[in-house]
Chain A
Amino acid sequence: MRKSSEDAISQVLEGLRDVEAPIGMERRILDAVLDRASVRSARLLLWAWCGAFACTAAVCVAISMIHRAEHVPIQSNLRAVSADMLPIASGTAVKSERPPLSQPIVHVKANVKSAKVVRGKDSVTLREMQTASFPAPPMPLTEQEKLLLRVAHRGDPEELAMLNHEMRAKQAAEGKVEFQKFFEPSTTGDNE
């Protein structure tokens, strides 16, 4: 039994020792290593390209944002400047109604610090322009409007008729005729 188990162990260990590598393994290993190396280098290259593209895109976005940030105040300033030019040409009366926005424009041209102030003010204006607008609250009614409402709601036909201009004119004319009849018939009667 002991010999048998010892033999079995030796047989297994010999089998492990004597195993031969498959034919063409060296070639396959070299090919595989080369493939993996090329894939790895291609992947590295791809990553490098992706990185470069991402950097370029980021730089472009940053430049465009800076450009936009610089151009928005300049455009609004130009608008303000053109608004400035009009009153000067037309006269001094209009000049007094000019919005105060034109004053910082001078500072924009003067130095960078004041340009920042203008940009800040412009941004506030821009923000105000972009905020959602709400309808104005209803104005209080005038006395006439209140009277009109009262008449309309009461529904008195005589008063409503008085609202009609023609009716009112006709009634005024009748009143005038009656007035004249009252004061003038005596003269004709006396004559007859």
Chain B
Amino acid sequence: MTSIEECGLVLSMEDVGSEIDLAALVETYSALLFRVAHSVLRSRAEAEDVVQDAFVRVVERRSSLRAVRDMRVWLIRITWNLAIDRRRRIRPEQMDEGFAESLVASSMPADQALDESQRMKAVLRELERLPKAERHVLLLSSLEELGTVEMAKVLGRSESAVRALLFRARMRLRERLERGGA
């Protein structure tokens, strides 16, 4: 088994010019990237695969890493795009079902847990029916680590646009849920 330090050493030796410390990158950002991917995919296994792919991209593009100003935003954007690509290939309904059940407290009585799970599924279903820009902003806003500036950078929009989209997304989602009886 290769240790994290060894991996970092190998990759930094492989590319001395750009001096990537992959182990440090993974240690620092993998949890955040996992949450980013999971917010789109709602599957732990798929999210982990996406994070792996993101770091593979880092290694592949190590020669151009010097040009990257904000590594954190750059990594989030890669992961975000990879997750959206993967989301097109999988069946989201199956993922949402599992995730909705995981949100319900295990201490609840069975009938109440079932109701709660249905309510969570309804929220996720309506969330998926939101316009794409609003949905993306809402999902990114769920990650508390990301501010409006970073969200704007990841999505390639202005800060004010992100704020407006976020407001509209919450309003629309609430309205639809109320209409649906959630």
Contact = CB atoms under 8 A, between A and B. Distances in A.
Q: Do A and B bind each other?
A: yes
B182 to A, nearest CB: 5
Contact of B22 (A8, A11, A16, A30): A30
B39 A16 contact: yes
B123 interface: yes
Interface of B: prevailing SS: helix
Interface string A6-40: 10110111111101111001111111111011000
Contacts of B155: none
A12 B30 contact: no
A153 B156 CA distance: 107
A166 B11 CA distance: 110
Contact of B30 (A2, A6, A25, A31): A25
Contacts, number: 110
A164 interface: no
Interface residues of A, number: 30
Contacts of B39: 16
Given A4-B182, A5-B174, A8-B177, A22 B35 contact: no
18 contacts: A4-B182, A9-B173, A11-B103, A12-B127, A13-B141, A13-B142, A15-B102, A15-B103, A22-B48, A25-B34, A25-B48, A26-B27, A30-B2, A30-B26, A32-B56, A33-B7, A34-B2, A36-B59
